[in-house]
Amino acid sequence: MALMFWKKKRNEEVAPVVEPIAEVLIEQVIEPVVEIPAVDEVLAPVISEALVAVELPKRSAKKGIRSLFSRIKFDPENLDDLEDILIQADFGLDASVAIVDEVKLRAKKAGAESENQLKEVLATVLAESLERSDKALNLSAGKLPYVFLVVGVNGVGKTTTIGKLANWLTEGDWKVFIGAADTFRAAAVDQVATWAERAGATLVRPKQEGQDPASVAFESVEAAIKADADIVIIDTAGRLQNKIDLMGELDKIRRVIEKQAEISEVLLVLDATTGQNGLAQAKAFAEVAKVTGVVLTKLDGTAKGGIVFAIQKELGIPVKLVGVGEGINDFAFFDAQEFARGLVS
């Protein structure tokens, strides 16, 4: 079933699911993916007034995930080779060893011996360890506008992800604002403007070239509140996590936004081709920007993005979205089952 999110109810709109609050809640209970806000806090008082529950289409990343065994054959006789295969998918040495140990243990218990049985065990181990109850986008808190801050190192796909996300929301009739707070990279504002136009979102531009990104972020949130928008997504310049001044700038952006609104998501965009440095990136951005979720992009290539395993395990940050191409629809929600099955197929 589709995910259920809350957005503003607009006058002209015929609300699809306004009436039965109870039903909505029940649906949310069945669908564990959605974060359920405490009933007495936000949901009950707000919904009937101004919010409307919307279904946004669920998406699949099947096309992006390639099998681990496309280059190397799975050898049921030699499970140690599995370690090499996982290493080559950027899981990292320690995680790979741990996964293989777990597979061996379970295979022994279950008496799994054939290739298919062992693959099944591997898929289960991967899916279980990647599954997270907090992987849904936080679009259910009911405090509008939602504010998303998108961060990451250079060239990972932040702006592209924002374009895709904005488009998905406007298709669901959300009023989307985008803040062009990458005032550093050449023509970055033009790039995000192109995406905003494609997505039918409103862009808040810097007033002058090279303006302080924190002030652009502030003005974007201000404009979104004024215009009664459902969500504002802030694009930021790429920065390497070891550059202290640039990380400090991010901290400032975050603090400035929080003066006006709660930040509902800080998304760290991570390129699937990234190796072990991905963990260092996640660590640094989590500390400074208080990352709430990871977007794993470029899964349409040959890279597997195995480093997210360690990121979830060691830092407890869930993967929420994946990018599977350069097109506006080329993204999906992260689904541990789908991901694990895809890898093992």
Ligand X SMILES: Nc1nc2c(ncn2[C@@H]2O[C@H](COP(=O)(O)OP(=O)(O)O)[C@@H](O)[C@H]2O)c(=O)[nH]1
Residues near other proteins (CB under 8 A): 84, 87-90, 92-93, 153-157, 159, 163, 184-188, 190-191, 193-195, 240-245, 248, 271, 273-278, 280, 298, 300-304, 307, 326
Span near ligand X by CB under 6 A; candidates 113-121, 198-206, 323-331, 334-342: 323-331
Span near ligand X by CB under 6 A; candidates 96-104, 157-165, 278-286, 304-312: 157-165
Say which entry of Mg ion, ligand X, other proteins, none residue 152 contacts (CB below 5 to 8 A, set by partner kind).
ligand X
Residues 141-200 touching Mg ion, rule: CB under 5 A, are 158-159
Helix (H), strand (E) at residue 45: helix 44-50
**If we measure between CA atoms, which residue out of 271, 265, 330, 263 comes closest to residue 293?**
265
Helix (H), strand (E) at residue 55: strand 51-56
Cβ atoms of 80 and 100 within 8 Å: the answer is yes
Phi, psi of 245 (to 5 degrees): -65, -40
- Which residue of 96, 183, 297, 312 would you call a contact of ligand X, by CB under 6 A? 297
**269 or 282, CB closer to ligand X?**
269
Q: How far is the CB of 154 from other proteins (least distance, A)?
A: 7
Residues 262-281 touching ligand X, rule: CB under 6 A, are 269
Distance CA(259)–CA(214), nearest Å, equals: 12
**136 or 216, CB closer to Mg ion?**
216
Distance CA(334)–CA(58), nearest Å, equals: 10
Query: Binding string, 227-256, against Mg ion, x = CB under 5 A?
Result: ------------------------------
Say which entry of other proteins, Mg ion, ligand X, none residue 190 contacts (CB below 5 to 8 A, set by partner kind).
other proteins
- Which residue of 83, 300, 335, 338 would you call a contact of ligand X, by CB under 6 A? 300
Three-state DSSP state, 6: strand
Three-state DSSP state, 71: coil
Q: How far is the CB of 227 from Mg ion (least distance, A)?
A: 23
Say which entry of Mg ion, ligand X, other proteins, none residue 184 contacts (CB below 5 to 8 A, set by partner kind).
other proteins
| Residue 61 CB contacts under 8 Å (≥ 6 apart), including other chains | 299, 322, 324, 331, 332, 333, 334, 335, 338, 339, 342
Three-state DSSP state, 128: helix
- Which residue of 47, 107, 123, 156 would you call a contact of ligand X, by CB under 6 A? 156
What DSSP string describes 297-330?
E-TTSS---THHHHIIIII-PPEEEEE-SSSTT-
Residues 222-251 touching ligand X, rule: CB under 6 A, are 238
The contact set with Mg ion (CB under 5 A) reads 158-159
